[in-house]
């Protein structure tokens, strides 16, 4: 016996719907993601525009995901969906409301349960859709445009927050540095491309929040901070600009920045895995698309027999498959949300 769950995700600037089946493991039956390109014009996500774009997209995106999976909601051809999982927090509240209200209405009309899913819990489940052994216990590093969280995951549903960023999220730091260098939004992928041609020895920035004598119990042992690194980069960019060498320095600057950020994340994640004796590390969020991060994490952890899992880009960035997976797990253990389910901009995991 397996269950079929429809997931809907509208927390930021992607409208996404997916169908996931949960039997012995998770199986992805369909995934549709529509990215809102319009925000590029503004150099960042404009909340009101995001909500309006979700309104026009959420119905066709959901229909397409159901059709691709050969599934249906009550009436129509195809295998019936057993429950609807919707992202209800955290995120842009107007954007969240669109997907959540639509998902609730669909579930109510079909007479099936609705489950509100925490967006960051979704990111934890994404990797399990591709790697059946990417399951707890594991150490998780979630790095996106809005969040940087280091977690110990003892079991699904049992999350211990170890560290977070004290200022900018990792993806936000990538995007801001890209902007400083005159690159379009979102700039993470472009910085990674540039960094490939950069000389790692040319600009060596200090590794934030990493000191040789840090010990478990220090307040900053697991935390990260990227605003100082960003400022160091700003000064380096200005120097290059006034020397008229920005064009030739760009790749080296991108490399110096990425190396410092990656080193910090790898060091903190490795500390967490060692502190809890975990044999698996799971990466998630948009910055987990970064190959340099995944490779550096592997080089650090693999020699100790620790496996590192990173989802493919379409499952690392925001998507509804991870929401459906988390919802399917919650449904399987007898949970459902009540019809008063609401959307929240911020909520702890
Ligand atoms: O998880 P996500 O799709 O959306 C949020 O919830 O924020 O993450 C988007 C973030 C952006 O900041 C983007 O620049 C970053 O992920 N990103 C990357 C890469 N691909 C996306 N950062 C570094 N390297 C990449 N290859
Ligand atoms: Zn996300």
Q: How close is the Cα of 286 to the center of ligand 2, in Å?
A: 7
Under the banding of pLDDT at 50, 70 and 90, the label for residue 297 is very high
Supply the CATH number for residue 181's domain: 3.30.420.40
Residue 255 shares a structural domain with residue 206: yes
Tens digit of each residue's pLDDT (9 = 90 or more) over 244-260: 999 999 999 999 999 99
Segment 140-153 mean pLDDT: 96
Return the ligand 1 atom nearest residue 313 CA.
Answer: 20
Instruction: Indicate whether 88 and 162 sit together in one domain.
Output: no
Please indicate, yes or no, if residue 263 is contained in any of the structural domains.
yes
The Å distance, Cα 55 to ligand 2 centre, comes to 19
pLDDT for 169 equals: 96
Mean pLDDT, range 202-211, rounded to an integer: 91
Q: Is residue 286 part of a domain?
A: yes
Q: Please indicate, yes or no, whether residues 17 and 88 belong to a single structural domain of this protein.
A: yes
pLDDT reported for residue 236 = 97
Tell me the residue range of the domain where 40 lies.
3-125+318-332
User: Are 159 and 266 contained in the same domain?
Assistant: yes
Cβ(194)–Cβ(208) below 8 Å: no
Cα separations (Å) of 108 from 63, 102, 116, 162, 249? 17, 10, 14, 38, 57
Residue ranges at the known binding site for Fe cation: 119, 123, 318
- Over the stretch 51-110, which tens digit does the pLDDT of each residue have? 999 999 999 999 999 999 999 997 778 999 999 999 999 999 999 999 999 999 999 999
Cβ-contact 185, 35 below 8 angstroms:
no
pLDDT digits (tens, 9 = 90+) for 232-246: 999 999 999 999 999
Q: Residue 14 phi/psi, 5° resolution?
A: -115, 130
Residues 46 and 142 in one domain: no
CA-closest candidate to residue 287, choices 311, 267, 270, 271: 311
Higher pLDDT, 80 or 39: 80
Distance CA 148, CA 165 (A): 6
The structural domain count of the chain equals: 2
Known binding residues: 119, 123, 142-146, 175, 188, 192, 290, 318
- Structure ipTM: 0.98
Answer yes or no: is 346 within a domain. Answer: no
Q: Please give the distance, rounded to the nearest whole angstrom, from the Cα atom of residue 96 to the centre of ligand 2.
A: 12
Atom of ligand 1 nearest to the CA of 186: 14
């Amino acid at each position: 016996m397996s269950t079929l769950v429809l997931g809907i995700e509208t927390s930021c600037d992607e409208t996404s719907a997916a169908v996931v089946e949960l039997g012995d493991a998770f199986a992805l039956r369909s995934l549709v993601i529509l990215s809102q390109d319009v925000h590029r014009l503004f150099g960042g996500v404009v909340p009101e525009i995001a909500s309006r774009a979700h309104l026009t997209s959420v119905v066709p995106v959901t229909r397409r995901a159901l059709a691709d999976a050969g599934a249906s909601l009550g009436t129509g051809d195809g295998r019936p969906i057993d429950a609807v999982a919707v992202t209800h927090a955290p995120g842009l509240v107007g954007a969240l409301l669109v997907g959540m209200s639509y998902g609730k209405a669909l579930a109510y009309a079909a007479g099936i349960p609705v489950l509100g899913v925490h967006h960051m819990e979704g990111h934890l489940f994404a990797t399990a859709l591709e790697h059946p052994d990417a399951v707890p216990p594991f150490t998780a590093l979630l790095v996106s445009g809005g969040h940087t969280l280091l977690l110990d995951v003892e079991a699904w549903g049992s999350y211990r927050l170890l560290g977070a960023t004290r200022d900018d999220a990792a993806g936000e730091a990538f995007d801001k540095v890209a902007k400083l260098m005159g690159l379009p939004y979102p700039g993470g992928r472009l910085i990674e491309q540039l960094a490939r041609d950069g000389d790692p020895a040319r600009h060596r920035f200090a590794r934030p929040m990493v000191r040789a004598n840090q010990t478990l119990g220090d307040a900053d042992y697991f935390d990260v901070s990227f605003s100082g690194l960003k400022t160091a980069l700003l000064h380096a960019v200005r120097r290059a600009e006034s020397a008229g060498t920005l064009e030739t320095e760009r790749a080296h600057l991108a490399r110096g920045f990425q190396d410092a950020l990656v080193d910090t994340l790898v060091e903190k994640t490795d500390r967490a895995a060692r502190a809890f004796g975990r044999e698996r590390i799971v990466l998630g969020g948009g910055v987990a698309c970064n190959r340099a991060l995944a490779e550096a994490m592997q080089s650090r952890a693999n020699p100790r027999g620790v496996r590192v899992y990173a989802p493919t880009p379409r499952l690392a960035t925001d998507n509804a498959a991870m929401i459906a997976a988390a919802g399917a797990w919650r449904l399987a253990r007898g949970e459902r949300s009540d019809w008063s389910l609401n959307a929240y901009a911020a909520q702890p995991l």
